[in-house]
Amino acid sequence: MPLYRFTCAYCGGFEARAGYDDSSISCVCGKPAKRESVYAINSVIVGQSLPRSDDAISTQQEWFKEVRKAGWSGERAIELMRHNVVEDSQGRKSVDIKAMNEATA
């Protein structure tokens, strides 16, 4: 059984093992405790999507070939990424890949 976080109105929060469909369980005090919601971590990639996992290795190899043809180095790529970091209104940072591509064209 998985471990979930529950909150009792009287005792506060605690972790307990429960079934997937259990939205509440009994606390040690005997009162019902509701299971807390779990939210995914958001990440943003601007201008490009990630390859499928089954195609990631061949995509990466092809990308490396193109990068070498264009005369790129690791230092150049890191410097360009640092100059194209953007921050949204909520403070989340991402790399603007579209701007990176325009800068190198």
End-to-end Cα separation, the chain, in angstroms = 53
pLDDT (tens digit per residue) in 57-103: 666 677 777 777 777 766 777 777 788 888 888 888 888 888 877 77
Task: Return the DSSP state at 98.
Answer: H
Domain boundaries, the chain: 3-35, 53-104
Percentage with pLDDT > 70 across the chain: 70
Which region, left, alpha or beta, applies to residue 91 given φ > 0 means left and ψ of -120 to 50 means alpha? left
Count of CB atoms within 10 A of residue 81's CB?
A: 13
80/62 Cα distance (integer angstroms): 21
